[in-house]
Amino acid sequence: MKGQHSVQAMVRARELAAAGWHDAAIVRLLADEGISVTKTTVRRWVDPEYDERRRVAVNACNRERRAQGARLRLTGQTDEYKFARLCALRAVGISHTQIGRVMELDFGESWPRDRVVLALKSGRIPKRYRKRVAA
């Protein structure tokens, strides 16, 4: 199992490190004892500072990955709500292109400049852009 090693394996690695063994040698010695671990795992067990740096780096990477995939999802997904949002953004002076970007962020669907202009001119979300409801 990934990430599942016995406490005894960790204690043994720490004992070997305290006795002056290097990480690669500890990996080999543990393998001879039937314990399969990587050099990185041994390093994290025997060097608390390395473990902390690695943990911080992994957490930062995970946060960044989540942020890249994150989207604000507004609950009002009706065409009327979308149109009201569109009008509110235009009322504060945001350009058509920028409105499209905000709408894409808010609703997770493509809003090119032409779609924004058409919606504002027609006074509603254009029919071809309305979500199709499965019958």
Return the structure tokens found at 119. 């919606």
Percentage, residues of the chain above pLDDT 90? 59
pLDDT digits (tens, 9 = 90+) for 111-130: 899 999 999 999 888 776 66
Cα of 81 vs its chain's centroid, Å: 28
pLDDT digits (tens, 9 = 90+) for 14-46: 999 999 999 999 999 999 999 999 999 999 999
pTM for the complete prediction?
A: 0.48
SS (HEC) of 1-26: CCCCCCHHHHHHHHHHHHCCCCHHHH
How far is 65 from 57, CA to CA, in rounded Å?
A: 12
DSSP class of residue 93 equals T
Q: What angle do CA 32, 24, 15 make, to 5 degrees?
A: 70
Return the structure tokens found at 8. 């005894």
Predicted local confidence at residue 133, as pLDDT: 42
Query: Where is average pLDDT lowest: 51-60, 67-76, 77-86, 92-101?
Result: 67-76
